[in-house]
A = this chain, B = another copy of it.
Amino acid sequence: MDVKTVCLGMLSDGEASGYDLKKEFESSFGHFFAAGYGSIYPALSALADDGLVACEHVPQEGKPDRKVYSITAKGREHLLGALEDPAPSHRIRSEFLATMCFSHLMTPEQIETVLDSRVAETAEYIELFRELETCCIQDMHPGERFVLGFGKAVANAVFEYLETHRHLLHEADTAPARRSAGG
């Protein structure tokens, strides 16, 4: 499943422009499937070339023209095919965890900075999820609610783990051999 397929899925819910889809990627899909304009616009062009979406030009006054895409019958069929994968992947690519593996080569200040930035990003996601929950949950399909809950559960687990275990990264670095005498 690539950006094309996700765009197609988004369009199965109603027509939209590339700009609209980008906003949807930022708000609800961003935490598990990021995409920028450089992926979205070519994806929509390719979908149109394959006849999976139809494109309607909408001239606007004062603003640039919109290209509004809507899914076709063929596109719907194709989407159902893509959803047949019995074991879709779920991959993490974490420079953060890779960095932490080598924390013994870093200064305590560096470690704290890295942890703080990770905590901050996690907190931002938690806040975003809270907003989505209060404003849009009634418009969501059950699947989207499930995915939102998944994001929340993981983000909360990460947040709690970071705060309760970050001290582990400093122990044994400062006083590795001084453990014997007075506790």
Q: Interface with B: A14-22, A51-59, A82-90, A127-135, which one?
A: A82-90
Tell me if B158 and A97 are in contact (CB < 8 A): no
Closest chain B residue, CB of each to CB of A13: B102
Contact B32 A102 (CB under 8 A): no
Q: Given B80, B90, B98, which contacts A92 in the complex, CB threshold below 8 Å?
A: B90
Q: Is the CB of A154 within 8 A of B147?
A: no
Check A99/B94 contact, CB under 8 A, given A161-B150, A168-B142, A169-B146.
no
Q: Whole-angstrom distance between the alpha carbons of A154 and B5 in the complex? A: 27
Q: Write the A135-166 contact mask toward B (1 if CB under 8 angstroms, else 0).
A: 00000011111110111011011101100011
Which of B1, B31, B105, B117 has a CB less than 8 Å from the CB of A87?
B117
Query: A158 to B103, alpha carbons, bound, how many Å?
Result: 26
